[in-house]
């Protein structure tokens, strides 16, 4: 059986998403600024990864 490993940046992005979701689960309302910040954090991790590959 072949085991594939995810790149470190993918794991970091998932950690950012998990933390953001955990913080938001305990609230009824989430501001658009907070959602945008979470998405920008994930995007910057992925962009940094892409830049290092190229």
Q: Given a cut of 70, is residue 6 above it in pLDDT?
A: no
CB atoms under 10 Å from CB of 48, counted, come to: 12
Tokens at 33, concatenated: 């600024």
Residue 54 CA to residue 52 CA, distance in Å, equals 6
Q: Which residue has the higher pLDDT, 39 or 9?
A: 39
Determine the pLDDT at residue 5.
54
Residue 30 CA to residue 9 CA, distance in Å, equals 26
11-45 tens-digit pLDDT: 888 898 888 888 888 888 888 898 889 889 888 88
> pTM (2 decimals)?
0.59
| 38 HSE (CA, 13 A, CB side) | 17
Q: Given a cut of 60, is residue 1 above it in pLDDT?
A: no
């Amino acid at each position: 059986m072949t085991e594939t490993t995810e790149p470190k940046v993918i794991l970091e992005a998932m950690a950012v998403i998990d933390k953001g979701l955990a913080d938001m689960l305990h609230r009824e309302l989430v501001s658009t600024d907070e959602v945008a910040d979470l998405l920008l954090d994930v995007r910057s991790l992925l962009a940094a990864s892409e830049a290092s590959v190229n």
